Amino acid sequence: MAKTNPAKFIREVRQEASKVTWPTRKETTVSTGMVFLMVFLAALFFFLVDQIMSSGVRLIFGLGS
């Protein structure tokens, strides 16, 4: 494997980074908000499923009285 000159490597990295399409501030804000919303909905869903299953287990074992 050929060794790359560090200066050449830096030039290639800068060249590739210039090809990246970076998101706007608005796109980043909207994406972040959507992630938080989905995390909240997933947490709520699993909380409700856990409560229902917990009630079912208590009912089966007769510990709910």
Q: How far apart are CA 58 and CA 38, in angstroms?
A: 30
> Residue 3: its pLDDT value, please?
78
Which pLDDT tens digits describe the chain residue by residue (65 residues)?
Answer: 667 788 999 999 999 999 999 999 999 999 999 999 999 999 999 999 999 999 999 888 887 55
Phi and psi torsions of 28, nearest 5°: -65, -40
* Domain ranges, ordered by start, for the chain: 25-65
Q: For tokens 């560090």, name the residue.
A: 6
Cβ-based burial of 15 (10 A; exposed 0-12, middle 13-18, buried ≥19): exposed
> Residue 61: its pLDDT value, please?
86
Cβ-based burial of 35 (10 A; exposed 0-12, middle 13-18, buried ≥19): exposed
What pTM does this model have?
0.65
> Residue 11: its pLDDT value, please?
93
